[in-house]
A and B are shown apart, each in its own frame.
Chain A
Amino acid sequence: MAIFVIGVLFKVWKYAMTPAPLKIPQTPAPVGAGGVPVRVLSEVVIFKSLFKSNRVLWLAGYLFHAGLLLALLKHFRFFFPAVPAGFGYLDTLEFYPGLIMLAGLGLLFLMRLVVDRHMFISVMTDYFLLLLLIAIATTGTFAKHFFRVDITQVKEFMMGLIAFKPVDMPTQVMFIIHFSLVLLLLAYFPFSKLMHAAGLFFSPTRNQVDNPREKRLVTPWAVEKPEAIPVAEEAMEAST
């Protein structure tokens, strides 16, 4: 957990601090600052570019992330003393978030196996991550709906963790597996491609305003006057 928080913050800090010396928005881009959030949000909320590119992939990715989001929201009740207003109705979704996630993940996994282009670019960690997520979603769904993990117990456990006052861990096997895998995922998160969730907001081709002629972009290392390149001047003249 601490690895996750510190790791992600460290990376985000690094992304934020690394300068972008040149204007490289991928045009057509917003010409005013107001357009940038719209552009970035359209990528976050509807995966716009992916939609333009490949509908199957978009569907797979979207199902997974939507399921993930719903599942995460459902989990909020474990972390707050009272179920926050409006979150109650999420319970009526039963186990669908888990299923949606699994459908998406399954499709993503399948694509890596059947589309030769996707196969070509996949390495172990890509498969591993999908399998890990599949395992998490499966154990989660099972723990809740088939093994009937005691929810109040889980809640006490989580509240205990948050308050740094350890409470006995619920003993159902499914819960233990689910919980361990999630910890694994969180620990792996900052070191992996999962950083896309944060990095997306720092992508210069998407978060820059298209106004280079109107507003001069100045970054510390990049504005000095043309430095003397160690060009062998005589050699140059000789060749003229």
Chain B
Amino acid sequence: MGFEQFGIVSFTGVTKAEQFVEFLKNNELRGTVCAQCGAKFFPPRADCSSCLSDQMEWFPITGEGALISHTKATFAPAGFEKDVPYRLGVAEFADGIKVFGRIDGTLPDEAVKAGMKVKVRMLDLGEERLTYEFTAA
């Protein structure tokens, strides 16, 4: 099993970065870092666009991040209708690494704002599917 296990709906199942899912199972969110030039990437990638190397290693994204922007969607594309309403956002973690994802739907509206401290948590969606979301740190 590989990358098709990632996300609420999977659109593509094959990537060299599929180990990402194994880390999610271990409760870890990981990006890649170039072994040659040290460039860090999230989302993870198999190839370094800075130095063209294909020697990538995995690094964990841990601790607190800050929410940069967010929205609450009340309409959804096909496959996500049952989730409405749901929040999406971007948060910044150490070394300027930014992560896009869902935000905890149980948080009150007034708690969700730019600058709020967040952490990442993994979600088991059942049927061997996994994702991550932001919640209050």
Q: Do A and B originate from a single complex?
A: no
